[in-house]
Amino acid sequence: MPYKDPNEQREYMARYAASPKGKAAQAARSARYKARPDIKAAQAAAQAKYNARPDVKAAQAARTAYYLYGLTPQDVERMFADQAGLCAACMDEISLVIGAENYRHIDHDHAKQKGEPGYIRGLLCKKCNAAAGLLKDSPDRCLGLGIYLGAHR
């Protein structure tokens, strides 16, 4: 039965699932699924194969960059070119190739909102991005660690 209001449809589905008929239907589906454990493995294998495709990985990376940071693939490529393909912190080479050891990470300021000037700071390598996160984006912590490491050479 089609519903114009999604809330009405949700309520109907909840009532059906709680009814004896709905519970019996769910038990039958569950029994069929449990009787064929190979189905779950086959579905997982097919999904993993699909997710491993380079075009799927690229589309997922583009969606993530846009959703989290408001960046298009062209914005990321422009940033990469502006940084000459180097990490903004350590100047090691980074890559736009998904799955590469030195794949780029988008660094952003956690104190600012998406769209504010200075929200996106640059592209970092994996190690610098992890270090910035562990140091809680604090310049004081970073300098303190640098002084400590310098004193214990």
Q: What is the DSSP string of 48-80?
A: HHHHTSHHHHHHHHHHHHHHHH---HHHHHHHH
- The pLDDT confidence band at residue 142, using thresholds 50, 70 and 90, is very high
Q: In percent, how much of the chain has pLDDT > 90?
A: 54
Examine the pLDDT at 93 and tell me if it is beyond 80.
yes
- The pLDDT confidence band at residue 1, using thresholds 50, 70 and 90, is low
Structure tokens at 2: 């089609």
Q: Is 131 helix (H, G, I), strand (E, B) or coil?
A: helix
Q: What is the pLDDT of residue 22?
A: 85
pLDDT single digits (tens) 41-83: 888 899 999 999 989 999 999 999 999 999 999 999 999 999 9
Q: Which domains does the chain have, with CATH numbers?
A: 71-151 (3.40.1800.10)
Looking at residues 124-151, what average pLDDT do you find? 92
Exposure string over 74-90, b if 16+ CB within 10 A, otherwise e: eebeebbeebeeebbbe
Q: pTM for this one?
A: 0.66
